[in-house]
Structure 1
């Protein structure tokens, strides 16, 4: 009797061990090391996005069901408060003359100069070659390459197998030219501008630093996005460097659909790890957005190109980098939201720094007024078109006819 009881206990113990092993095996498969993931080929995520949403609710059910124009389940920052009767800024006495002098070169009745536009595009293509070098790829950055950080010239990053596997095979801009492009800055001048339709009518739309597009912003800034940049400082400040819960970051990206997400992974040494974590996060959650890394070689050649034109700041702003890229890839370039002053150019009323908040720029790194002078000059030369103030319905109609 005792023998049978002993064998029964041994059998139950063995069965329990098997069940525990099976449970651990199942859990382990659900937590695969993200550093072993590989980039997904373009277009492969269309089905996996729907499949993963059955387990992980990346975007809200309202978003997935109704489309990108609906609000996210996460609360975006509210638009700056709009005064019913804005007052002329009392702090603008010293800046009026400066603004008026700058705007002497701003031509409202703008006309494109085909020759100057083609010449500048040709020069940029020859010296910077953004169509092949703007993005780090496995083609232009082989295994073992030592990348020099463009913001820290004395530091390098040697491309190992793990880093190499995060690069796409080729540049998404290769052999491509768009007829119309809009580069959208985030200046407070965009508030109440009604430029959304005009922006969305462009074939290719570039946005900077993950700006909010929903919750009453659509009318002024539009929703269409083909490329959006993300400064690593945003990932540190808003998303805890992606070291904890990451779903809020992924849901933020939903508003940009399957656009390119441009990360400056090799501008500063501290940006590399967090940029790669952003890429792994996007892959792990099955987001359709396509993360890519800015090429420091391209940024260095861009800085050298614009230096003779008066831009001698330690580093160009993200907005100007995107303008330079657009001038090379696009036949017609429109700028919105590029205004570096705290007052409106026409009525001198107060403006917030961004259309969604009033966080000030780092003036020690970017000399934005100097960049703005050059942009105004390019506008006056008919190379690009800068939109200041409100967008009129007739201007949208004219731009649409030119497509």
Structure 2
């Protein structure tokens, strides 16, 4: 009897683990979609420009592990809060912008400047808060002297995500008509994409991983990097130099490269980690519980503080088009997924849709009509 009891005590954990493994094997695991908006400033998302002979990328077939795991329910829920017949609600916009400005202070804190980051002070990394960086004279000298946004408010801003929903959208002319255009992670604007995404750029973000993957971290030839930025003209180049310590050296090399070779090229500025902390806290208070906001949410939030009318394009975090249910690619230029996902794209989009429904921002899905309202 004692032997039997001992044997049973030994077998029970084994039986439990086997049962749990079988349960997981049979469960359809659905990974969070990441088609819409902009990818992270922090995570690896290699911006691969396809061959010009194939402007619209091909959607990859669904993997066997997710066969039957559809976005249909999430899409139906999203469309409940979306309407093409959008109307701006001035009171809601004023209320939300006032709340965001009081918490985040984008106008004075979005970019690291000599005013908000004095010589000898410490920069606290967003992702490594116990690892401060002292502002030396050399670092202080390359910081922007003042905020690039000033106290002006732009009448209209277009925030352009890289979602596959932009393919064949004919939104380029409408995007170009905005007074201030924000783009994410150095997206391709030529090779036939102009019709859908436009060319005008006033601010573009750059993921440091792109600098490593495409330009060898700017440790070798640097001129190809400078040449690749020509389509953005003299836009602001927003670099997250102080999100993690390993982002700092390559971001500084990007700054010095443009200083050395970049006549009439974008002006590099550094995203302020203090602004990111304030912004993350703000969205948590709104009920968004992600590790950190995506690039798309960061620049959309920035636009809400500096623009009277905010229009979002290329924001759609699902694998199917909202109107015809046809498969769409992750980006308008390729179907590559980011290697890591610390964001909750559908949840972020849900919050943006709420603002759309309230008349605070306007999200554009489908083909454009070439008019801003």
**Shorter-chain TM-score range:** 0.7 to 0.9
**Aligned with 1:235: secondary structure?**
helix
Find 1:339's aligned residue among 306, 316, 327: 316
Matched, 1:100 2:62: no
Q: Return the alpha-carbon distance in structure 2 between the equivalents of residues 313 and 390 of structure 1.
A: 31
**Aligned with 1:181: secondary structure?**
strand
> Deviations for 1:165-208, whole angstroms, at most 9, x for unmatched residues?
11011001121100100000000111111000000000000000
Find 1:77's aligned residue among 50, 55, 58: 50
Matched, 1:170 2:146: yes
| Structure with the largest fraction of helix | 1
Find 1:367's aligned residue among 344, 348, 352: 344
Alpha-carbon distance, 1:308 to partner:
1.7
Alpha-carbon distance, 1:310 to partner:
2.0
Q: Return the alpha-carbon distance in structure 2 between the equivalents of residues 266 and 88 of structure 1.
A: 37
**Aligned with 1:202: secondary structure?**
coil
Consecutive unaligned residues of structure 2, counting only runs of 5 or more, are 1-47
Q: Return the alpha-carbon distance in structure 1 between the equivalents of residues 125 and 242 of structure 2.
A: 5
Consecutive unaligned residues of structure 1, counting only runs of 5 or more, are 1-74
Alpha-carbon distance, 1:76 to partner:
4.6
Find 1:272's aligned residue among 248, 253, 267: 248
Q: Judge conservation of contact 1:99–1:345 (CA < 8 Å) in 2.
A: yes
Matched, 1:379 2:352: no
Give the 3 Å change call, closer, same or farther, for CA 88–303 of structure 1 in structure 2: closer
Q: Return the alpha-carbon distance in structure 1 between the equivalents of residues 295 and 176 of structure 2.
A: 21
Q: Partner of 1:304 in structure 2?
A: 281
**Aligned with 1:273: secondary structure?**
helix
Q: Partner of 2:186 in structure 1?
A: 210
Q: Judge conservation of contact 1:139–1:170 (CA < 8 Å) in 2.
A: yes
Q: Partner of 2:290 in structure 1?
A: 313
Q: How does 1:152-163 map to 2 (within 5 A)?
A: 152-163=128-139
Q: Partner of 1:71 in structure 2?
A: none
Q: Return the alpha-carbon distance in structure 1 between the equivalents of residues 57 and 105 of structure 2.
A: 46
Q: Return the alpha-carbon distance in structure 1 between the equivalents of residues 135 and 55 of structure 2.
A: 47
Q: Return the alpha-carbon distance in structure 1 between the equivalents of residues 67 and 162 of structure 2.
A: 22
Q: TM-score, normalised by structure 1?
A: 0.76
For the pair shown, which has the larger CA radius of gyration, 1 or 2? 1
Q: Judge conservation of contact 2:119–2:137 (CA < 8 Å) in 1.
A: yes
Give the 3 Å change call, closer, same or farther, for CA 287–146 of structure 1 in structure 2: same
Q: Judge conservation of contact 1:263–1:294 (CA < 8 Å) in 2.
A: yes
Compare relative contact order (CA 8 Å, sep 6+) and give the higher one, 1 or 2. 2
Find 1:135's aligned residue among 111, 115, 123: 111
Alpha-carbon distance, 1:88 to partner:
12
Q: Partner of 1:238 in structure 2?
A: 214
Q: Partner of 2:233 in structure 1?
A: 257
Q: Return the alpha-carbon distance in structure 1 between the equivalents of residues 331 and 67 of structure 2.
A: 18
> Deviations for 1:89-124, whole angstroms, at most 9, x for unmatched residues?
995763212211111011211001100101111112
Alpha-carbon distance, 1:304 to partner:
0.7
What value does the CA root-mean-square deviation take over the aligned residues? Answer: 2.2
**Aligned with 2:142: secondary structure?**
coil
Matched, 1:358 2:335: yes
> Deviations for 1:344-399, whole angstroms, at most 9, x for unmatched residues?
1111111110111111135531111110110111100100000011113xxx23x1
**Aligned with 1:269: secondary structure?**
coil
Alpha-carbon distance, 1:269 to partner:
0.6
Q: Return the alpha-carbon distance in structure 2 between the equivalents of residues 82 and 247 of structure 1.
A: 28
Q: Return the alpha-carbon distance in structure 1 between the equivalents of residues 263 and 84 of structure 2.
A: 41
Q: Return the alpha-carbon distance in structure 2 between the equivalents of residues 286 and 94 of structure 1.
A: 46
Q: Judge conservation of contact 1:131–1:176 (CA < 8 Å) in 2.
A: no
**Aligned with 1:375: secondary structure?**
helix
Q: Return the alpha-carbon distance in structure 2 between the equivalents of residues 191 and 140 of structure 1.
A: 40
Q: How does 1:318-333 map to 2 (within 5 A)?
A: 318-333=295-310
* Residue-pair matches, total: 321
Q: Return the alpha-carbon distance in structure 1 between the equivalents of residues 70 and 208 of structure 2.
A: 35
Q: Partner of 1:45 in structure 2?
A: none
Q: Judge conservation of contact 1:92–1:348 (CA < 8 Å) in 2.
A: no
